[in-house]
Amino acid sequence: MDTDNWIPSSYTDAMRRPDLWWEPMVREYEMLKERGVFELTPQLLERNIVGSKWVYAVKWRDDGTVDRQKVRTVAKGFIQVLGEDYDETYALVARLELVRLVCAIAASRRLRLGQIDFVLAFLNSESVFDIYIEQPKGFEEGGDDLV
């Protein structure tokens, strides 16, 4: 656990090395607040409350050294109820055949390929459902009766 590439599996684990993980957690939380992703609301007993969890990762440079620690807060989607929290699921995944085709075309035309990371891309999608989610651990505001 004494190296910079240690990846915690929970908030409690991350707080064993706050020097590595606290600042990325603050950046993630502030980004969610800036974009108006959530608003605090009284917890309604008749509503399903979806849990939340911090997910940790280490991003690497090309030379194999640590670039930065990355943290995301995610919903525990397995708690959601069909028809109450969602009505369909969709995973945006590229088919391997398509990736190979694009690479082959780029190679045949001597083109360069690049990569883009869309930060918080899925938070911009519309939903017809009101989804109630726990506040991220360590960043609770306003008391236990708010979600």
Structure confidence at residue 17 as a pLDDT band (50, 70, 90): very high
31 torsion bin: left (phi>0), alpha (psi -120 to 50), beta (else): alpha
Check residue 97 and give its pLDDT: 94
Structure confidence at residue 147 as a pLDDT band (50, 70, 90): low
Q: Per DSSP, which regions of the chain are E strands?
A: 49-50, 52-60, 66-75, 132-133
More reliable by pLDDT, 43 or 147: 43
Check residue 55 and give its pLDDT: 95
Task: Report the candidate in 70, 89, 67, 79 with the shortest Cα–Cα distance to residue 23.
Answer: 70
Which token pair is 137?
């651990």
Check residue 50 and give its pLDDT: 85
**Average pLDDT of 57-86?**
84
Structure confidence at residue 1 as a pLDDT band (50, 70, 90): very low
* Strand partners of residue 54: 73
State CA 14 to chain mean position distance.
16
User: What distance in Å separates the CA atoms of residue 109 and residue 146, rounded to the nearest whole number?
Assistant: 56
Question: How does pLDDT run across 34-71, given as a tens digit for each residue?
Answer: 888 888 888 777 778 888 999 999 988 889 888 899 99
What Cα–Cα distance (Å) separates residue 67 from each residue in 4, 27, 59, 110, 128?
10, 16, 5, 29, 38
Question: How does pLDDT run across 96-139, given as a tens digit for each residue?
Answer: 999 999 999 999 999 999 887 666 666 666 777 777 888 889 98
Task: Judge whether residue 2 has pLDDT over 60.
Answer: no
User: What distance in Å separates the CA atoms of residue 125 and residue 105, rounded to the nearest whole number?
Assistant: 31
CB 54 within 8 A of CB 73: yes
